[in-house]
Amino acid sequence: MMRTRFVLAASVVAVAAMLSGCVSGGPIQVFSSDYKSRTDAGYRIPAVPVTELPRKYQRQIVRYQSDEKPGTIIVDTKDKFLYFTLPDDKAVRYGIGVGREGFEWKGTARVAMKKEWPVWTPPAEMIGRQPELAKYRNGMPPGITNALGARALYLFNKGGDSGYRLHGTPEWRSIGKAMSSGCIRLINQDIIDLYDRAEVGAKVIVQ
C-alpha cells in the first residue's frame, strides 16, 4: 500500500511539472573544455578554472521540455540558469548571475540587437548610486574589463529598450549569485556561444 501511494505521489509531481511548461533533466553533454583561454577580436579572454566552477553552472546540453519553439531563451532567476531551447526536448543550459535584491525583474522581451565587444554606458541612475562611474557617462571602451564583456544581447519589450542585457563577464565567481544591477551575466566563453546561437528577434522569457 505504501509503495502504491509513493508511485501515485511521484506521478502527480511529474504531471504537475509537465503542466508548468518546462521540465529539465540531467546533462547530455558538458562543455567543460571550452573554458580555456582564447583570443577573440584581438582581446585575450582568460581561462576559467573549471575545477572551481560548480559543474551545474558549466555549459551543457540537457533534457528540457518546453512549449516554446526552439531558439527561445528562458531565464530561470531562481536556480540561476539560462536555457536556449533546442529541438527534440533539449536545451543548452548556462550558469548565470542575476540581479541582486531590489534589482530583480521578470517578464518577456525580444533580442533587438546583438553586439560584439560592446561599449557600456551606465544609466544616469546608476551613476547617481555610484558616482565613480561618471567617467563612463559617454561610454566605457570595449575590452576584457568592460562591464558587458565579450558580447551583449539587447532586450526590448513593447515599450522599447528595457535597459536589460544578456552579457558577458570576466567575473566567473559571480555565476550562480544575485549581485548584478538587473542584467543577466554569463561567463565570456558562454556569452560568445549564446551569441552565435541566438537570433535577433528571439523571444526571451525571464521568470
Element (H, E) at 3: helix 2-19
Please state, in angstroms and rounded to a whole number, the distance separating the CA atoms of residues 152 and 136.
18
The question of whether 10 is a catalytic residue gets the answer: no
Q: What are phi and psi of 91, to 5 degrees?
A: -155, 155
Active-site position among 92, 109, 183, 205? 183
Active-site position among 59, 114, 165, 167? 167
Please state, in angstroms and rounded to a whole number, the distance separating the CA atoms of residues 123 and 175.
23
The question of whether 167 is a catalytic residue gets the answer: yes
Contact between residue 81 and residue 117 where contact means Cβ atoms under 8 Å apart: no
Catalytic residues: 167, 183
